[in-house]
Structure 1
């Protein structure tokens, strides 16, 4: 992370803006970081897995044989690091790989494959399995063990105050993400607007969570629906991104007004949930009287904001359900093809630039329920998805980053292209299995779709 030198003086607003600005890189240095989460379950019983005994801690400990270094919070291992990649656990024990910044989709797929092979070796010894789905198909909130991580305790207490489904977001969802660079403020704005507008299209393509507690929910992405009532202060489609004058300052002002969760001091999380970062900058936090924030506090605060696209010192694509191995590489491929080729970026913006402000939030809600059958500005999401994938494919071909087998990156889009061409989301295929071969037993997904 780039730190701004402020000496001993207190932070001012310009420092916060400059922190975002310093993420800009020349195109030759653009990379992609891929992230994915997965549910851990007990083989046979399909039960969720506790931290210990024989659970998440043992899984983390077992991975150290592959060169991963443990990260502790107090006496508890809560993450692993290897180079610029890390493995972490989400509030309900969801297991996440946050990959290193890499140059190509080929590199991302190699990293992801190596990770899945390593965790499978350890999980097999422990009698555990992994499932890539956007929302847990069986477990209630009460069944899911709580991981020993300080920030999650604070969030767990705060979430029910601001939305009805925040705890579901924490404990019962899994996602796949891609993090991409920008070259300047103008480039950030173009990428942010385009990717935010099209994020619901990615949600539809990746929709893979039709069940809750063993039954169909009426949603194709229960995960996406959860985000519509998690916390309106820190989620959504950010109308201001599409308005004239948007830039780093606009986002910094937005982030300042998002209520805080915590301040970290000496390895401990101090609960300041609901407090104002503006007050913190003025030294007016009751929990830390007279103390003012550092840039690390600002960086931490930006991680507690959850819009469909998030700005840090890069842009995070946050709209997709987790899924099988074959689709984990497709998400970074999709966004690299659109955002890392200037012609593709312009063509993708042409798809959505005429959409009204109200269209964005409506579409976000509709795709959670209808997937590719949703409509926007007189077109079906299925049609928009086909165009979006064609644009991404051309962008990847123009990038011409070849694997050892002299194959470009466009092949990683093939599964998404099949979904768009058939108009059938992964969730609808799961529902068909539920109605036919599974005979109403949603638990069969643990057998048929485990990693």
Structure 2
């Protein structure tokens, strides 16, 4: 999960074969599956009145030297004490991205310490972190305005309001897992996708938005699925489970329309409908570079995104310390090749049910049954993680609690 120095040089791309080589080199870095990372997002609220808007100056004062430069251009953007970095989404959602760790237990402990530091900073300003995957109190409202976010908003507005909901109101939990050895890439890639719908259903927390029930188990995922299928649909599909991951990803990347083109000035909007493949074919005044390709990849948001590691993006933010549960479940399910195969076998029959998982969650019997079987499998594999005693007890209890809720929903 560390970028290689030799990839820092930006090169001009003149053909799709060069783009393919670059994507294969940076997006699927093979090796022993060693590291795990987590990225946590929350909406931010006034502690006394969570429906009240949060002023950027108030959040900037609370975060101080940890403010991202998008909030305070003069900020040193210092990492938190245990290495996590603070960033903000366009609506002011706060994100902590952790350095990857070789131990899930060490990752949990370091992340908890960084969360405690941030919550302490926010508390001094009368602010608190949200508890769900979408803002349950407020309508979508921008806080940050950058050329990237303006271009994003313009493109998404063509398809309706879902883009603004996603940008300004949603909060997710992302788990990052190594790709694995060459022979493990395809099974881990397929399993990472297949377990998505049942685990989305099991951990859905985004049913209420802007003061009303939405009718969705995860209105956060509903917004993501609605904004632009060319950049949010899954890369892997059950109809072609043996498709080469690298080839599938290259096709996806090159076929996706440009979201923005970086240039001097405030307007980064691309010509409508131009894909990266079109850019390679000369659709824009200058040829693209590998840096442009990397930036384009950062504007694609499938449920599983390869970034040298596998970034699993389909989970809602969780209340309080419950973020540890899906992290531990996924770490356990991917702890050895046999468990990966077993997880895939359980989830494959429901691997296509993304929209159903977002709308119905555990009310769908097939998803509930698969979720229960995956949690059972994870419980059996948790001892492999070697969690510290206190953490291990808490995680086991939390997963058993979630499993009981899933089984109740399955009746």
Q: Equivalent of 1:393, from 379, 390, 410?
A: 379
Q: Pick from 205, 208, 223: which aligns with 1:226?
A: 223
CA distance in 2 between partners of 1:316 and 1:8 (Å) = 25
Q: Deviations over 1:93-122 (max 9, x none)?
A: 000001111112212221221122211222
Q: 1:11 to 1:191 in 2, by over 3 A?
A: farther
Distance 1:7 1:303, change over 3 A: closer
Q: Does the Cα contact within 8 Å between 1:205 and 1:416 map onto a contact in 2? A: no
Q: Give 1:279 shift.
A: 2.6
Q: How do 1:47-446 residues align onto structure 2 when only pairs under 5 Å count?
A: 47-52=52-57, 54=58, 56-61=59-64, 64=65, 68=66, 71=69, 75=73, 77=75, 81=79, 85-141=84-140, 144-238=141-235, 240=237, 242-243=239-240, 244-265=242-263, 270-272=268-270, 274=272, 275-285=274-284, 289=285, 291-353=286-348, 355=349, 360-361=351-352, 363-375=353-365, 380-397=366-383, 399-403=384-388, 405=389, 412-423=395-406
Q: Is the 8 A contact 1:211 1:217 kept in 2?
A: yes
CA distance in 1, matches of 2:13, 2:60: 40
Is 198-207 or 1-10 further displaced after alignment?
1-10
Cα-Cα RMSD: 2.9
Is the Cα–Cα contact under 8 Å of residues 20 and 312 in structure 1 kept in the other structure? no
Hey, which of these two has a bigger chunk of strand by percent? 1
Q: Provide closer, same or farther for how the CA distance between residues 425 and 305 of structure 1 changes in structure 2, counting only shifts above 3 A.
A: farther
**Can you list the C-alpha shifts for 1:382-430, whole angstroms capped at 9, x where unaligned?**
2211211122233332x34342x4x78585253233222233899xxxx
2:34 and 2:321 map into 1 onto residues whose CA distance is: 24
Structure 2 unaligned regions, length at least 5: none
SS in 1 for 2:229: coil
- Structure 1: tracts of 5 or more residues without a match: 427-451
Change in Cα spacing, 1:100 to 1:8, as seen in structure 2 (3 Å) is closer
**Normalization by structure 1: what TM-score?**
0.80
Q: Is the 8 Å Cα contact of residues 43 and 171 (structure 2) preserved in structure 1? A: yes
Work out the CA distance in 1 between the residues paired with 2:160 and 2:78: 31
Alpha-carbon distance in 2 for matches of 1:103, 1:126: 35
Distance in structure 2 (CA, Å) of the matches to 1:410 and 1:233: 42
- CA, structure 1 residues 149+169, in 2 after alignment: closer, same or farther (shift >3 Å)? same
| 3-state SS of 1:334 partner | helix
Q: CA deviation at 1:229?
A: 1.3
Q: Output the TM-score relative to the length of structure 2.
A: 0.87
Aligned to 1:38: 42
Write the deviation string for residues 189-212 of structure 1: whole angstroms up to 9, x where unpaired.
211211212101111111112212
Q: Decide which of 25, 31, 38 is 1:26's aligned counterpart.
A: 31
3-state DSSP of counterpart to 1:306:
coil
Identify if the C-alpha distance between structure 1 residues 6 and 38 changes in structure 2 by more than 3 Å, giving closer, same or farther: closer
Whether the 8 Å CA contact 1:344–1:394 is kept in 2: the answer is no
User: Contact 1:92/1:172 (CA < 8 Å) preserved in 2?
Assistant: yes
Report the number of matched residues: 400
- Aligned equivalents of 2:71 and 2:219: distance in 1? 32
Residue 159 of structure 1: how far off its partner (Å): 0.6
Indicate conservation of the 8 Å contact 1:72/1:79, yes or no.
no
